């Protein structure tokens, strides 16, 4: 396993390495000649500090490179999540990317679907871009038990050796993907916002926000297979289905599904019915809304227009709205037709969650970054805007847009 240590006999306690660590994971302790750098628990073993030390006092030992023949891994897989026999859209969205990447790399696309009653979905997956569908149907897979699903997916990967696997970063996908990656001793890039291919090296280029969303990092998995990535729902669009496409459909049998550490006793649907990820119109409010009472104006306008209310993170942090409504890097990605941003500054972490067709921004600060993302901007008070919009919508008897 990779490790890092300070070579005390070489370290002179000069503190230069502190500014070289993007994670604030180095401190210098002690006095005089006993002053030495120490590595803190927040170290991610990224290695950025090593070159900052002119005294070669930081020693980073990297993982051994895997010597397995990775050329035998071929093809792009999409794990297509379903619930109670119904496919989640994210699998179809990922098939469009898998198709593009497979075409660049000159390989094929396989959709993998696991569940209780799913055989009927296979032809749809071919229509959305898969060349092959591998499905495992077993009534013991009706409930989404991530431990059991890990066994099934790992078994399939070991049998078919895909080079790339894409999964949706849903609640379930976020649990399944790292378990499978750990079993296969390979890497996983979570929450990618862009996928591409290095045609020469046959690698998946996995791009995602890094360092608190302040830059985009492109990550590769050069030495291990499969190359695994998750992508949030609604980041990509599905292909237009072509029901004339032909493909191969393979049924696999589930491995022994016993002796699991956890059992699902009951599945309970979440209450509240809010899914901002599916909304067509979002009235989104930020700190500029002023107080919790004013959110009711956004709710009223959303109801009049047939939309939902979304928020920036500070409103969740201060308990004004539940997390389910948060848009952004650590919230949801939304793709409405219309996104009305009321009193939202437009921090990069918030913008990372907006994939809207049209954005309207209302902000008192004409320099607010949200205006760079907006199609229409109003410099002004968002509370006055909401009151005026509600009055206008009511006066003109406008219903859902």
Q: Whole-number minimum distance, CB 189 to ligand SF4, in Å?
A: 18
Give the Cβ contact number of residue 362 at 10 Å. 26
Tokens of 96: 């469009």
Taking the least distance from each CB to ligand FAD, the nearer of 74 and 349 is 349
Q: Say which entry of ligand SF4, ligand FAD, none residue 173 contacts (CB below 5 to 8 A, set by partner kind).
A: none
Q: Say which entry of ligand SF4, ligand FAD, none residue 53 contacts (CB below 5 to 8 A, set by partner kind).
A: ligand SF4
Tokens of 131: 């060349």
Q: Whole-number minimum distance, CB 23 to ligand FAD, in Å?
A: 12
Taking the least distance from each CB to ligand FAD, the nearer of 157 and 276 is 276
Phi/psi at 158 (5° precision):
-65, -30
Q: Whole-number minimum distance, CB 94 to ligand FAD, in Å?
A: 22
For position 193 contacting ligand FAD by CB under 6 A, the verdict is: no
Q: Within the chain, how many helices (H) and strands (E) appear?
A: 10, 21
Give 126-167 as a DSSP string: HHTT-SEEEEEE-GGGSS--HHHHHHHHHHHHHHH--SEEEE
- The residue range among 146-154, 215-223, 253-261, 345-353 that interacts with ligand FAD, by the rule CB under 6 A, is 345-353
For position 38 contacting ligand SF4 by CB under 6 A, the verdict is: no
For position 45 contacting ligand SF4 by CB under 6 A, the verdict is: yes
CA angle 163, 80, 164 (to 5 degrees): 10
Strands 36-39 and 26-29: antiparallel
For position 55 contacting ligand SF4 by CB under 6 A, the verdict is: yes
For position 180 contacting ligand SF4 by CB under 6 A, the verdict is: no
Residue 317 near residue 330 (C-beta atoms within 8 A): no
Q: Say which entry of ligand FAD, ligand SF4, none residue 373 contacts (CB below 5 to 8 A, set by partner kind).
A: none
Taking the least distance from each CB to ligand FAD, the nearer of 163 and 345 is 345
Tokens of 130: 């898969």
Alpha-carbon distance of 176 to 31, in angstroms, equals 48
Return the residues of window 287-306 that contact ligand FAD according to CB under 6 A: 287-288, 290
Residues in the interface with ligand SF4 (CB under 6 A) total 29
Q: What contacts 24+ positions apart, CB below 8 Å, involve 371-374?
A: 371/346, 372/346, 373/346, 374/341
Residue with tokens 């219309």: 338
Q: Say which entry of ligand SF4, ligand FAD, none residue 326 contacts (CB below 5 to 8 A, set by partner kind).
A: ligand FAD
**H-helix or E-strand containing 16?**
helix 16-20
Return the residues of window 374-393 that contact ligand FAD according to CB under 6 A: 381-383
For position 360 contacting ligand FAD by CB under 6 A, the verdict is: no
Q: What contacts 24+ positions apart, CB below 8 Å, involve 46-53?
A: 46/22, 47/4, 48/20, 48/21, 48/22, 49/17, 49/20, 49/21, 51/20, 52/16, 52/17, 52/19, 52/20, 53/11, 53/16, 53/17, 53/20
Alpha-carbon distance of 350 to 311, in angstroms, equals 9
Mask of contacts with ligand SF4, 9-28, x by CB under 6 A? --xxxxxxx--xx-x-xx-x
Taking the least distance from each CB to ligand FAD, the nearer of 40 and 379 is 379
For position 4 contacting ligand SF4 by CB under 6 A, the verdict is: yes
Q: Which residues bind ligand SF4 (CB under 6 A)?
A: 4, 6, 11-17, 20-21, 23, 25-26, 28, 37, 39, 43-49, 52-53, 55, 57-58
Q: Which residues bind ligand FAD (CB under 6 A)?
A: 212-213, 286-288, 290, 312-314, 326-331, 343-345, 347, 349-350, 353, 362-365, 368, 381-383
């Amino acid at each position: 396993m990779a490790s890092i240590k300070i070579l005390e006999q070489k370290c002179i306690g000069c503190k230069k390495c502190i500014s070289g660590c993007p994670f604030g994971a180095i401190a210098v302790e002690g006095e005089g000649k006993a002053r030495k750098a120490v590595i803190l628990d927040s170290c991610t073993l990224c290695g950025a500090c090593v070159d900052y030390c002119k005294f070669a006092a930081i020693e980073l030992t990297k993982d051994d490179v895997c010597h397995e023949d990775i050329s035998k891994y071929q093809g792009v897989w999409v794990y297509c999540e379903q619930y109670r026999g119904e496919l989640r859209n994210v699998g179809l969205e990922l098939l469009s990317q898998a198709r593009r990447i497979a075409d660049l790399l000159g390989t094929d696309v396989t959709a993998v679907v696991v569940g209780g009653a799913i055989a009927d979905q296979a032809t749809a997956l071919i229509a959305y871009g898969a060349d092959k569908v591998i499905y495992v149907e077993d009534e013991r897979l009706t409930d989404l038990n991530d431990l059991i699903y890990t066994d099934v997916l790992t078994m399939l990967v070991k049998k078919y050796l895909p080079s790339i696997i894409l999964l949706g970063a849903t609640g379930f996908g976020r649990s399944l993907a790292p378990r499978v990656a750990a079993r296969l001793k390979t890497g996983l890039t979570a929450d990618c916002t862009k996928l591409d291919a290095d045609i020469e090296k046959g690698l998946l280029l996995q791009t995602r926000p890094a360092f608190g969303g302040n830059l985009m990092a492109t990550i590769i998995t050069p030495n291990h297979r499969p190359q695994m990535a998750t992508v949030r729902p609604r980041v990509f669009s599905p292909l237009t289905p072509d029901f004339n496409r032909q493909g191969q459909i393979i049924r696999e049998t589930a491995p022994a599904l016993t002796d699991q550490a956890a059992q699902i006793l009951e599945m309970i649907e979440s209450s509240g019915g809010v899914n901002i990820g599916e909304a067509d119109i979002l009235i989104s409010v930020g700190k500029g809304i002023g107080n919790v009472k004013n959110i009711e104006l956004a709710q009223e306008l959303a109801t009049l227009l047939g939309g939902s209310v979304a928020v920036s993170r500070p409103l969740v942090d201060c308990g004004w709205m539940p997390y389910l409504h948060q848009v952004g890097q650590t919230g949801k990605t939304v793709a409405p037709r219309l996104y009305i941003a009321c009193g939202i500054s437009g921090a990069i972490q918030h913008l990372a969650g907006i994939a809207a067709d049209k954005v309207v921004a209302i902000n008192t600060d004409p320099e607010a970054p949200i205006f760079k993302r907006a199609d229409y901007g109003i410099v002004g008070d968002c509370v006055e805007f909401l009151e005026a919009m509600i009055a206008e919508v009511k006066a003109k008897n406008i219903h859902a847009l």
